[in-house]
Amino acid sequence: MGIKKMKKFQILGLKRDIDSITEEMMRNSEIELLKTEKYHKNFKSSQIKNSYKSCFNELDRMLDSLNLSKTIENIDFDQLNKVNLEKFKDFVQPIQKKINKLERITKKLDAEEKRLNNLIKHVYVMRNIDIELQSLKNLSYITLIFGSLSQERYERLIENVTEVPVLVLEVNRDQDRVWFFTFAKKNYQQKALDILNSANFQRIELPDRVKESPKEILNQARHRLDKIEIIRDQINLEFKKLKHRHQNQLLDYYQQMLVFNKITDVNNSYYGESNYFFITTGWISEENEKEFEKLISDNYTKVIYSSQEVKNAEEENPPTIIENPEWIKSFTSLVKLYGLPKYGEIDPSLFFALSYILLFGIMFGDLGQGFVFVSLGFAIYKNKIDFIKNKDAAYILISIGFSSMVFGTFYGSLFGLEDLIPALIIRPMDNIMFWLGFTVMIGIFLLITSMIFNLFNTFKNKDYTEALFSDSGLSGLILYLFLLSNLAYYGIQNKLLMPAPVIAAVFIILLLLIFLKEPLGNLLTEQKFSIDKKISEYILESAFELFDTVLSYLSNTLSFLRVGAFTLNHVGLSMAVIILSEMINNNAGSLLVLVVGNIVIMVLEGVVVGIQILRLEFFEIFAKFYSGSGRELKPLKIE
């Protein structure tokens, strides 16, 4: 459980084995190859001709044309054979010819359909005119202009056009616009257009190649569209026949082409080569390596495999592979919102899952509402809800629902009603100050735990400066515990834990250790301390950082008051729903308000509480120990 240990491997072998080695690595889901330039300086980049590329692209387009799914879930490498490209071309050429012919006809139909629809659009507004359009277009001395205006502008045009030698003939109108013909003398055409354009006229050109009346044109166009639909149905039928007849063989070819095309691309991207040899480098998980190394040594006697441990994670930047049980994986997906763990860091998934579940139960404690969350989670897990297929959501809902049920039992809360079952431990609304203090104590525990995680991370990575002198390191942890213990003792006993001068001395010493982190760290690691700014600027900047550190201890701790506040808020909202339901005399209405109110609380407050916990986790806890700057493994996937 946690982050898998990685090793960097190198494979050297004869070029004749290069495709087979790539295939073996593609079978393995925990191998990532590295680019050739950086690691294979004495080898040139592999430039193998990809004879599959053009055939694969052609096949890819054919599958699109036939609407065949290209999703391949599991590739059986053992059933793959080298593709005979000549035989493949002989098979696909007649199919491609038929597809090309059908697509050419389809394009012509598309163009004709577009033309007819455009014709109908223009002629439809003239449908009430019983005259052939050709006779209007061929007038000897008169120009015909057709178009539309808004109703307001049309009325204004009619009022002002009486003194101008033009004739306006309305042919159609709707709620917004009016369509009309404008007749003008040939020598007055431009003047008429200027008048119309000044009124924001939208001109419509009369369609070409039409002689009949608008009604006849519309009937002919619609009849032609019906014929086009029949032809389209015939074309679709031909496509279905091609698909049914050839889909199995096409998909077999596609799977093989996909793999061999990918193999060639991988060889050219990740391999170095000489006249006779190839070389490649990558990452592999340690637990996966033994089986892979044995496979290489047993099947490829001319291939040399070697590997080494990660020496410097900062420089080498190995990928991160997280291995956790299913229910923890669901919370890992939330952790990734902050960032993936860097190699060498603690995987915070378990800690995050436990703290998230705990905080949600505290803030949203209700036996009945928690049971609804659990039921919803199980329904998703059993695929009873079609629109949610995410198993992560199922595990999260079950976990937080169970926590809500536990704390609801502690509080004696059932669907917001607090008089049906007794409180097993406490009713937060009856003990507000105690409850707020308790939630702050939980926050203190989580903050201290996060500082301990930071100590583990920094000592593991030999970053002793951060481990000993940072605000989240040993000095910061001791300072935080020292402040807390003194405040707690003074609050309980009403006197100081130790004499004031001793407290001040310890406090100042710890602050100085944090203040002088850089010079002390360099002294510890025997490095020369140097700064790129004036001493006064360095001191001022460090002083502000130190002030921010002390302030952050206070703000981080008090932030957990919101946990108690949301607990009280949940109780308050439930009480409001109950009061509303009691105000209704009708029993059915009262029950309806209670049900709807609980649904609103579960949806709205559930989302708000979930987001608030994420905020506490990311900004108050993760900031103490977790960088989230890791990167995911990029295996050789077939896509």
Tens digit of pLDDT for each residue in 58-93? 888 999 999 888 877 667 666 666 778 888 888 889
Q: Given the DSSP bridges, would you call strands 202-203 and 142-150 parallel, antiparallel or unpaired?
A: antiparallel
Per-residue confidence band for 185, with pLDDT thresholds at 50, 70 and 90: confident
389 pLDDT exceeds 80?
A: no
- Find out whether 486 and 497 touch, Cβ atoms under 8 Å: yes
Domains and CATH numbers, the chain: 2-83+251-316 (no CATH), 131-212 (3.30.70.2750), 323-625 (no CATH)
H/E stretch holding 401 reads helix 391-411
> What does each C-alpha distance from 528 to 327, 462, 518, 523, 531 come to in angstroms?
48, 18, 10, 7, 10
Lowest-confidence pick of 82-96, 139-153, 371-385, 449-463: 139-153
Q: Return the higher-pLDDT residue of 533 and 273.
A: 273
Q: Return the higher-pLDDT residue of 383 and 537.
A: 383
Beta pairing partners, 629: 340
357 pLDDT exceeds 90?
A: yes
- Find out whether 606 and 4 touch, Cβ atoms under 8 Å: no
The rounded distance, in Å, linking the Cα atoms of 344 and 625 is: 12
Q: Which phi-psi region, left, alpha or beta, contains residue 209 (left: φ > 0; alpha: ψ -120 to 50)?
A: left
pLDDT at position 332 is 92
Dihedral over Cα of 493, 494, 499, 500: its sign: positive
Q: Given the DSSP bridges, would you call strands 31-33 and 44-45 parallel, antiparallel or unpaired?
A: unpaired
Query: pLDDT of 403-441, one tens digit each?
Result: 999 999 999 999 988 888 888 888 988 889 999 999 999
Q: What is the mean pLDDT of residues 43-57?
A: 79
Dihedral over Cα of 471, 473, 475, 478: its sign: positive
The rounded distance, in Å, linking the Cα atoms of 20 and 569 is: 63
135 pLDDT exceeds 70?
A: no
DSSP 163: T
The rounded distance, in Å, linking the Cα atoms of 211 and 111 is: 21
Q: What is the pTM of this model?
A: 0.75
Please name the residues in contact with 138: beta carbons below 8 A apart, sequence gap of 6 or more. none
331 pLDDT exceeds 90?
A: yes
323 three-state secondary structure: strand
210 pLDDT exceeds 70?
A: no
> What does each C-alpha distance from 485 to 34, 289, 468 come to in angstroms?
52, 50, 21
DSSP 187: G
